[in-house]
């Protein structure tokens, strides 16, 4: 192998691409789409981040500035939490495009997150979902195919390979030179990705994570470089090479991902909204009505309190039994709500794991799994938001129930609908409403994402090594 000859062949291939209208037009089109997707995603994510941050501050101020009210009215008045996109969502929005961004928190129920980005951008059509991750996973491999499908068959068809072999050029030099040229094109196409990662780093992303993500995309494109060089080196004509490579692209990038999704949904089916809401409602009815202290479901609680405080009537209790009933009911309901939520999340996580295994059949799917995990836009991150939101909901509801127990007289509480003065005495000062906890918008720790993404990186490395081995084997032939 002569390195000078290899470099000369690579330079000659680049000169050919510059003279080729197809190569130049396709390169310009893909690079423009990639740059446009980056600009669009950065603008959208930054706008969403500022908007949601402002809405979150407004929601907290609105809750805290409410006038004197009965504490249970504040439970039903509720509070909004907004999911802020992580910095690396400028590269890969992940599940953020499909999941809700706003959640209303109130007593006795867990509401779903609503207003996904796909819903918000519905009128913009499919191009609204174009992101740098999609461009590199789907479009850039197609560009590499256009550039490299005829690199070696072209020499055979023009009979120039005999002239090269008659000199000091070997078949290994020729294949390596063509591969080096294509690898250079792949490296050049990573420039917009690098720019996007710098933007994300400036917005607070971990530098280690940004470099890690760049390495993953580079390995993926290098896999395609080896695949293109290996297949184009064993076929006789450029047309046959293009057909085979296009079939590989369709199979790996277009066919396998939806098949993986369908298999995942079948392996761990999740109940629909109607069925799950019906089952949840039936389970919640067994906890009793937390608004009714005389509900038979709380007979044991009433007897326990009467015995504990050595009184014969709930009106003589030193605490407000209506608040106690509301607090106990919320605790029981919270357990049931969390049980159903955890069951649903476990099924969704099982589906995600099935999709992860399909990365063995498609490097595009392996990269997608690696990308969303590393960027902090995967299903685990969304589940974390749901759990944090539920913790905030339960915390402020039970704090309000505690105010109901300790600061409201039972006699005023039962008469407030008939006695205006009693109703006024059940209104607590607005200073009590400053109790809300924040929902964390930070992605999981960098070390966690590094470890969780590593298996998918190994799959891509295996694909890359396999394609390189196939290419080396073809060179020897």
Going 181 to 186 to 187 to 191, the CA torsion angle's sign is positive
Which pLDDT score, from 0 to 100, does residue 117 have?
A: 66
Which pLDDT score, from 0 to 100, does residue 125 have?
A: 46
User: Cα separation of 323 and 250, whole Å?
Assistant: 62
User: Taking Cα atoms as reference points, which of 257, 130, 122 lies closest to residue 192?
Assistant: 130
Is a pLDDT exceeding 50 seen at residue 358? yes
Give the pLDDT mean for 40-51.
89
Q: E strand or H helix at 80, and its extent?
A: strand 79-82
Which pLDDT score, from 0 to 100, does residue 476 have?
A: 64
Which pLDDT score, from 0 to 100, does residue 157 have?
A: 67
pLDDT tens-digit profile of 67-126? 999 999 999 999 999 998 999 999 999 888 788 889 999 988 888 888 776 555 544 444
Total residues belonging to the chain = 477
> What's the distance, CA 133 to chain centroid?
12
Which pLDDT score, from 0 to 100, does residue 365 have?
A: 95
First vs last C-alpha separation in the chain: 15
Least confident of 2-11, 295-304, 335-344, 356-365: 2-11
pLDDT tens-digit profile of 235-277? 878 888 899 999 999 999 999 999 999 999 988 888 888 888 8
User: Taking Cα atoms as reference points, which of 445, 342, 344, 332 lies closest to residue 387?
Assistant: 342
Which pLDDT score, from 0 to 100, does residue 124 have?
A: 44
Which pLDDT score, from 0 to 100, does residue 272 have?
A: 83
Does residue 437 or residue 372 have the better pLDDT? 372
Give the pLDDT mean for 385-414.
92
Q: E strand or H helix at 79, and its extent?
A: strand 79-82
Mean pLDDT of all residues in the chain?
87
User: Cα separation of 42 and 35, whole Å?
Assistant: 11
Lookup result for tokens 């470089």: 225
Which region holds residue 111: left if phi is over 0, alpha if psi is between -120 and 50, else beta?
beta
**% residues pLDDT > 90 (the chain):** 49
Which pLDDT score, from 0 to 100, does residue 170 have?
A: 76
Q: E strand or H helix at 449, and its extent?
A: helix 446-476
User: Cα separation of 286 and 129, whole Å?
Assistant: 44
pLDDT tens-digit profile of 186-207? 998 999 999 999 999 998 899 9
Grade residue 10 by pLDDT with cuts at 50, 70 and 90: confident
Count of Cβ atoms closer than 10 Å to residue 58 Cβ? 12
**Cα angle value 376/378/380 (rounded, 5°):** 95
Residue 318 has which token pair? Answer: 């030193």
**Secondary structure of 371-421 as H, E, C letters:** HHHHHCCCHHHHHHHHHHHHHHHHHHHHHHHHHHHHHCCHHHHHHCCCCHH
pLDDT tens-digit profile of 295-350? 888 889 999 999 898 888 888 889 999 999 999 999 999 999 999 999 999 999 99
The number of CA neighbours under 13 Å toward the Cβ of 340 is 23
């Amino acid at each position: 192998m002569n390195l000078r000859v290899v470099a000369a062949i690579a330079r000659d291939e680049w000169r050919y691409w510059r003279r080729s209208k197809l190569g130049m037009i396709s390169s310009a089109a893909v690079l423009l789409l990639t740059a446009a997707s980056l600009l669009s995603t950065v603008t959208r994510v930054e706008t969403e981040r500022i908007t949601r941050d402002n809405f979150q501050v407004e929601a907290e101020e609105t809750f805290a500035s409410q006038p004197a009210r009965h504490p249970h009215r504040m439970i039903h008045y509720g509070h909004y939490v907004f999911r802020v996109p992580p910095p690396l969502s400028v590269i890969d929005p992940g599940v953020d495009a499909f999941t809700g961004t706003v959640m209303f928190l109130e007593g006795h129920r867990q509401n779903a997150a609503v207003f996904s980005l796909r819903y918000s951008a519905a009128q913009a059509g499919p191009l609204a979902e174009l992101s740098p991750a999609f461009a590199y996973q789907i479009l850039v491999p197609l560009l590499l195919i256009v550039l490299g499908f005829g690199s070696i068959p072209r020499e055979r068809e023009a009979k120039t390979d005999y002239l090269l072999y008659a000199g000091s050029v070997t078949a290994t030099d020729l294949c390596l030179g063509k591969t080096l040229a294509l690898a250079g094109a792949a490296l050049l196409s990573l420039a917009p990705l690098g720019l996007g990662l710098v933007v994300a780093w400036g917005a607070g992303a971990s530098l280690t994570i940004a470099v890690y993500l760049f390495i993953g995309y580079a390995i993926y494109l290098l896999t395609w470089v080896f695949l293109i060089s290996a297949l184009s080196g064993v076929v006789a004509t450029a047309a046959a090479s293009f057909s085979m490579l296009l079939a590989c692209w369709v199979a790996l990038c277009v066919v396998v991902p939806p098949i993986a999704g369908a298999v995942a949904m079948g392996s761990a089916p999740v109940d629909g909204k109607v069925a799950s809401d019906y089952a949840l409602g039936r389970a919640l009815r067994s906890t009793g009505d937390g608004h009714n202290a005389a509900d038979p479901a709380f007979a044991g609680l009433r007897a326990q309190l009467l015995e504990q405080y050595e009184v014969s009537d709930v009106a003589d209790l030193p605490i407000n039994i209506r608040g106690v009933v509301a607090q106990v009911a919320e605790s029981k309901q919270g357990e049931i709500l969390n049980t159903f939520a955890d069951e649903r999340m476990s099924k969704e996580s099982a589906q995600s794991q099935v999709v992860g295994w399909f990365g063995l059949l498609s490097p595009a799917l392996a990269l997608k799994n690696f990308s969303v995990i590393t960027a902090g836009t995967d299903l685990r991150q969304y589940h974390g938001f749901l759990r944090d939101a539920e913790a905030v909901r339960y915390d402020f509801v039970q704090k309000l129930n505690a105010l109901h127990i300790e600061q409201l007289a039972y006699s005023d509480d039962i008469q407030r609908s008939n006695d205006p003065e009693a109703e006024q005495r059940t209104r607590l000062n607005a200073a009590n409403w400053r109790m809300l906890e924040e929902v964390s918008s930070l992605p999981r720790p960098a070390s966690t994402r590094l470890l969780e993404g590593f298996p998918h990186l190994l799959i891509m490395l295996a694909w890359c090594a396999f394609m390189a081995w196939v290419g080396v084997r073809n060179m020897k032939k």
